[in-house]
Amino acid sequence: GKHMVAVMVPMLEKRLEEEKKPEVKAVIARVLGEAKQASSVDALVNAIEPAATDSDAKTMNKEIAIALGNIGDKKAVPALVKLLKTKDNYTVIAAIEALGDMKATEAFDALYFIGTDDAIEPFITKKAIIALGNMGDPRAVPGLVRAMFKERKGISFYGESSFALYQLGKPAADLLVPVVD
Rounded to two decimals, what is the model's pTM? 0.91
Q: At what angle do helices 108-116 and 141-148 cross, to 10 degrees?
A: 20
Neighbours of 170 (CB within 10 A): 8
Q: Do 101 and 134 touch, CB atoms closer than 8 A?
A: yes
pLDDT of residue 103: 95
C-beta of residue 136 within 8 angstroms of C-beta of residue 116: no
* pLDDT confidence of residue 172: 73
Q: Of 143, 160, 75, 146, which Cα lies nearest the Cα of 109?
A: 143
Give the CA count within 13 Å in the CB-facing half-sphere of 110. 21
Sign of CA dihedral 100, 105, 111, 116: positive
Locate all alpha helices (DSSP H) within 19-149, ordered by sequence.
22-35, 41-47, 55-71, 77-83, 89-101, 108-116, 122-135, 141-148
Q: What is the largest CA-CA distance in the chain?
A: 61
Q: What pLDDT does residue 169 have?
A: 85
Query: Which pLDDT value is given to residue 43?
Result: 98
Q: In sequence order, what are the beta bridge partners of 156?
A: 151
pLDDT along the chain (181 residues), means of 10: 77 97 97 95 97 96 98 97 95 98 96 96 97 94 93 94 89 68 57
Res 174: pLDDT: 75
Q: How many angstroms separate the CA atoms of 85 and 95, rounded? A: 10
